[in-house]
Amino acid sequence: MSLSYILRRVSEYTESDMHFDVQNPNIVVVGVGGSGCNTVSRMKRLGLEVPTIAVNTDMVNLRMVDADKKIYLKTRTGRSTGGHVEEGEASALMARDYLERSLEGSDIVFITTGLGGGTGTGATPVIADIARKLGALVISIVSLPFEIENMHVKRAREGLKKIMEYSNTVIVLENEKLLDIVPNKPLNEAFMVMDQLISYTIMSFVDMITKPSLINIDLADLRYMLERGNLSTILISEGEIDDVRRIVTDALNNPLMNIDYSTANGALIHITVGEDASLNTIYSTVDTISSFMRRDPKITMGARIDPEYGNRMRILVVLTGIKVPFMEKVREIPELEEDFEVR
């Protein structure tokens, strides 16, 4: 009797023959501001099967969004924030009770937004704080403005600090990297690439923790890894199982984030393989990933057997405790002009 046969039988038993209900965690995806709302719409079109909430101060944008629930944040002026972060924050605080009711009962809250504007930068920390106080694990995924957008960069950096304070972990993506991968695409198509990556990131995360696996990763594992992860990144790659190092290297070549992997202090690794993958293949994959990290990292592993993968393997890695140059840079940025007065 081969090992693959035993593993297959265990997998079949786990998924088919155990006659009790396994309750998945309650997951909610919240898109904040124009960028976040656009991402939520894309995820709905791609078939995301968890509840979505779109939050914005721009009613025109909100009407066009495809989401299960839409929350219009009223500003103190009755207009959109006009790029003023304090207005985005105030609008979320005024809607705090309604936001609490919308997020109540959630185990995991994904928040996606673009930083640098008023609504996403100002309202996201408030929403993250609400979700954490309700007991949810909060994973924020944010995109950063282009470096030439001086005022937006300053807002984004300050906003990111607040989001890190109120989230369990923050995954950062950089618009600047779009210049490397799609420099000649029309603006709308270029930003669609960012939306697609965020959508795929969240959907992969949801699959990892909701679909039955031979070695499961559950909510307790996520809390253990991400409770104090600060900045994180998610890496995804797929390839032939006879070239593990190439699969890992492709994953590490994250196209939309400039990070230092050697500082990572933890990794949540989920591997999907075909029926004939060996134990040594799984071990080699985890060992290769850990070799790029700092010494003695905290590692949690999950694995799923999927007959459709044949001789291929897919890895999903969440690295925690990383350093992002955006937060390390010391760059002279002009102070914002305070020309906004609330009446």
Classify residue 191: in a domain, yes or no. yes
182 and 236 belong to one structural domain:
no
250 and 284 belong to one structural domain:
yes
240 and 129 belong to one structural domain:
no
Specify whether the CB–CB gap between 43 and 52 falls below 8 A: yes
Q: What is the mean pLDDT of residues 321-333?
A: 61
Classify residue 125: in a domain, yes or no. yes
Classify residue 312: in a domain, yes or no. yes
Distances (CA, A) of 199 to 27, 40, 50, 137: 14, 8, 12, 19
Classify residue 222: in a domain, yes or no. no
185 and 88 belong to one structural domain:
yes
Residue type, 97: D
Distances (CA, A) of 323 to 83, 100, 205: 28, 32, 21
- Does this model's pTM top 0.85? no
CA 303/CA 308 separation, integer angstroms: 15
Binned at pLDDT 50, 70 and 90, residue 254 comes out as: low
Q: What is the mean pLDDT of residues 84-91?
A: 88
241: CATH: 3.30.1330.20
Binned at pLDDT 50, 70 and 90, residue 229 comes out as: low
157: CATH: 3.40.50.1440
Classify residue 17: in a domain, yes or no. no
111 and 172 belong to one structural domain:
yes
103 and 146 belong to one structural domain:
yes
Classify residue 16: in a domain, yes or no. no
278 and 198 belong to one structural domain:
no
246 and 202 belong to one structural domain:
no
Domain count, the chain: 2
Classify residue 219: in a domain, yes or no. no
Specify whether the CB–CB gap between 305 and 234 falls below 8 A: no
As a whole number, the mean pLDDT across the chain is 81
Is 166 a residue whose pLDDT tops 60?
yes
166 and 199 belong to one structural domain:
yes
Tokens of residue 61, six digits: 């944008």
* Domain around 293: 230-325
Most confident of 46-55, 197-206, 317-326: 46-55
Q: How much of the chain exceeds pLDDT 90, in percent?
A: 26
Classify residue 3: in a domain, yes or no. no
